Amino acid sequence: MEEIGKIKLDYTFYPGEDLYCDGQVEDELLEIVRNYAGIEYQRIIEEKAQWPILYHLSSQRENIVDWIPMEGTEKVLEVGSGCGAVTGALARKSGEVVCVDLSKKRSMINAYRNSECGNVTIHVGNFKDIEPVLSEDFDYIFLVGVLEYGQSYMGREKPFEKFLRLLMRHLKKGGRVVIAIENKYGMKYFAGCREDHLGSYFSGIENYAGGGGVRTFSRKGLEKLFAACGIEEYQFYYPYPDYKFMTALYSDEYLPGKGELSDNLRNFDRDRMLLFDESHAFDGVVEDGLFPVFANSYLVVIGSGFDVKFAKYSSDRAPEYRIRTEIRRGGEGKLLVEKHPLCGEAVEHVRGMAMAFEDLRKRYEGGRLEINACELHEEGEKVWCSFEFLEGRRLSELLDECLERDDQERFRKLFAEYVERTGYREEYPAADFDLTFGNIIVQGDVWNVIDYEWTFGKEMETKELAFRAVYCYLLEDEKRNKLDLDAILDELRITPEEAEYYREQEREFQKFVTGKNLSMAEIRNVLGQRVIQPLKWMEKLETGALVNRVQVYENRGDDFSEEDSYFVPDAYQGEQEIEMELRVDGNVRVLRIDPCMDACVVKILEMTWNGAKIPLRDPKIFTANGRLLKPADGIVFPTKDPNMYIQADALSPRAENILCLRMEIARLPLAVAQDMAQSVKKLI
């Protein structure tokens, strides 16, 4: 037994070496947690810009368990605790946490980073060896990113079934098992993300045909597993974008609406393809009720569910603004919206929402904009606020429908009504800076503001708030770009200078919210993982296949015609070299060769007629609609229809002639080719 800070590490079943290791990065992680406090991890993550550092040390990993209601007395078993990404959160929420992990080094990292948690014991070794000594009275058993490794714990014969059955023996009556795992048919995998564990494309979709010891499941696959284990009570939740860095959690009682799932470029570990727009695809599956099939991850609770039906995290903000928004079922069965501070610094921000309600209620009293009431709650050290959950349609949905029908007139009418309602008593010293279309619920003739988190005690021009609403609306979905923004700006009487000022103000506001920290989107950019778009490559290849072709015309005295032309197969040797041998009938008087279907520059390496070199500077034999460069074997064509002409009847023709031609060629933008041609005096 070893103690690191207040944490106990039990090595009774440790085999003497780590059978699972990520290499040198674990030494780096151990060095960090030994020498730095948790408050410094974000800075280190940004400075190091490495996926393993982000993955193991980011506080956002805790979101997956943070929302689960606990009383503080629960006994928790965490299997596969690793470097302690969620151990600290479980320790703060419960009475006792027992961890099991195969790796000594990872367990030491866990212990150092959570050394102040006096209610944590870590057993190091294989779960199968440790399991017999574990008690059978756990309120919760957590498997976060662990079930898929069941074969490593239990061997090959029905490993996942054995694993679950074994775990269930250690659950007290009324307890819960919580499983977080990727969906093998998650939308991100179809769209081009690599499989999380194997790093290969489409592994889960192809049912792991290539082998490997890791297995994730579809929803149906998990349900079959539960049935095989005799498990009848379970609840599915859907972490989004996935369980690793969850920003939102949905449930079967509260599924996402159209337009909500737009934050999809969140892979941090490696390059990915982008085969289609996931947000548009999600819109379709949401409309058809298929989101549970294609959600990227699952969080399954074996046992009874929770009152929480939805959770949204704003955890990449500055500490004083970090909150969790929940939709839960209250005591009378009504749905409530609650906002909870995620840290002590954010308590005043939550208090401010209740004050904002009073200010906005007074401003809009007598107008046509309702402010959803906010009630502040305090129980001991806990502070949160609650709102009534309002049914209805978001104004953004109504506006989207106008654009889908190309009904710009209806859009402008709704927008004008938005300006009229929100601009009521503009001079009052209270303004909701976040009066976006998605924050307004429309119930017939009643418009309700459901979120006014960013309310400032000063007057603001209505056109400024309206500009921000439109600006955010357009940024959320490129499909909205069909909106005539200039017409909207004209209606608001916003000059180009004012528009640029408002854009800069928005950028400053975002930095105000995130503080010194980078947002997760910015961290992704810092990590430098590429988004590869094969469709663009295909378009380029298809364009190249159409453009990079050599066409030959034969004039036998009746000028050139498409009927007397042909394309030379395999003339292109790669992208930039042409090599061909043509047999030319003795009746051909003029031969025209089009080296490609685009502006270009060519360097003629060889051009011979029956073995004799063709003189490029003799206009009686060779001409072109390009300009001859120095040296004399280069030609720039400032046209998308480049032509070269060989006067065959001036070259002592035979009954059959052989033209050999080798050229290097580079396509150019037309404007560049034209500029090059202008610097050359003479047309060939």
260 inside domain: no
> Same domain for 466 and 614?
no
Q: Please state whether 152 falls in left (phi above 0), alpha (psi between -120 and 50) or beta.
A: alpha
> Same domain for 234 and 378?
no
Rounded CA separation 97/119 (Å): 6
The mean pLDDT of 39-61, rounded to a whole number, is 94
> Same domain for 345 and 406?
yes
535 inside domain: no
Largest CA distance in the chain: 105
> Same domain for 293 and 326?
no
Percent of the chain having pLDDT more than 70?
Answer: 99
pLDDT at 151 over 60: yes
Q: What kind and span of H or E run contains 174? A: strand 171-182
Average pLDDT, the chain: 93
Distances in Å between the alpha carbon of 327 and those of 59, 176, 336, 358?
A: 22, 21, 6, 22
pLDDT digits (tens, 9 = 90+) for 263-315: 898 888 899 999 999 999 999 999 999 999 999 999 999 999 999 999 999 99
191 inside domain: yes
Domain boundary among 497, 516, 535: 516
E strands in 498-625: 531-532, 551-555, 565-567, 577-585, 590-594, 600-609, 612-613, 622-624
User: Residue 84, Cα to own-chain centre: how many angstroms?
Assistant: 25
> Same domain for 414 and 556?
no
258 inside domain: no
359 inside domain: yes
The mean pLDDT of 480-496, rounded to a whole number, is 89
Residue 354, classed as helix, strand or coil, is helix
255 inside domain: no
> Same domain for 200 and 325?
no
pLDDT digits (tens, 9 = 90+) for 331-390: 788 999 999 999 999 999 999 999 999 999 999 999 999 999 999 999 988 999 999 999
pLDDT at 425 over 80: yes
Q: How far apart are the first and last CA of the chain?
A: 89
Which range among 411-420, 490-499, 542-551 shows the weakest confidence by mean pLDDT? 542-551
Which range among 217-221, 266-270, 581-585, 659-663 shows the weakest confidence by mean pLDDT? 266-270
Peptide bond preceding 241 in cis form (omega within 30 of 0): yes
- pLDDT at position 536 is 79
Q: How many CB atoms lie within 10 A of CB 306?
A: 17
Structural contact between residues 337 and 327, judged by C-beta atoms closer than 8 angstroms: yes
Structural domain of 413? 317-516
pLDDT confidence tier of residue 477, bands split at 50, 70 and 90: confident
Residue ranges in 288-344 assigned as alpha helix (H): 291-294
> Same domain for 355 and 481?
yes
Name the residue among 192, 311, 175 with its Cα closest to residue 240. Answer: 311
pLDDT at 680 over 80: no
**Does the model's pTM come out above 0.95?**
no
Number of domains in the chain: 3
Q: Is the dihedral of CA 13, 16, 22, 25 positive or negative?
A: positive
- pLDDT at position 13 is 95
Instruction: Compare 476 and 663 and report the one with higher pLDDT.
Output: 663
> Same domain for 303 and 215?
yes
pLDDT digits (tens, 9 = 90+) for 513-567: 999 888 888 898 888 888 988 887 777 766 777 788 999 999 988 888 888 899 9
Q: Residue 24's domain is classified under what CATH number? A: 3.40.50.150
Query: Which residues are CB-neighbours of 71 under 8 A, at least 6 positions away?
Result: none
The mean pLDDT of 648-664, rounded to a whole number, is 91
Query: Which residues are CB-neighbours of 35 under 8 A, at least 6 positions away?
Result: none
- pLDDT at position 681 is 56
- pLDDT at position 210 is 86
Unique residue bearing structure tokens 């590429």:
530
The mean pLDDT of 63-89, rounded to a whole number, is 97
> Same domain for 628 and 485?
no
Percent of the chain having pLDDT more than 90?
Answer: 79
274 inside domain: no
- Looking at the DSSP bridge assignments, the partners of residue 178 are 142, 301
Query: Which residues are CB-neighbours of 25 under 8 A, at least 6 positions away?
Result: 50, 52, 53
Domain boundary among 496, 516, 536: 516
- pLDDT at position 632 is 61
270 inside domain: no
- pLDDT at position 542 is 65
Contacts 24+ apart (CB under 8 A), 114-117: 114/5, 114/7, 114/84, 114/87, 114/88, 115/4, 115/5, 115/6, 115/7, 116/5, 116/6, 117/6, 117/7, 117/87, 117/88, 117/91, 117/92
The mean pLDDT of 655-671, rounded to a whole number, is 93
pLDDT digits (tens, 9 = 90+) for 381-414: 899 999 999 999 999 999 999 999 999 899 999 9
pLDDT digits (tens, 9 = 90+) for 603-638: 999 999 999 999 888 889 999 999 888 766 789 999
Distances in Å between the alpha carbon of 441 and those of 396, 410, 418, 421, 585?
A: 9, 18, 12, 13, 78
> Same domain for 236 and 326?
no
pLDDT confidence tier of residue 654, bands split at 50, 70 and 90: confident
Rounded CA separation 138/174 (Å): 10
> Same domain for 116 and 168?
yes
> Same domain for 483 and 618?
no
Rounded CA separation 604/606 (Å): 6
- Looking at the DSSP bridge assignments, the partners of residue 573 are none
pLDDT at 683 over 50: no
Q: What kind and span of H or E run contains 259? A: none
Rounded CA separation 642/565 (Å): 15
- pLDDT at position 631 is 64
pLDDT digits (tens, 9 = 90+) for 428-439: 999 999 999 999
Q: Residue 321's domain is classified under what CATH number? A: 1.10.510
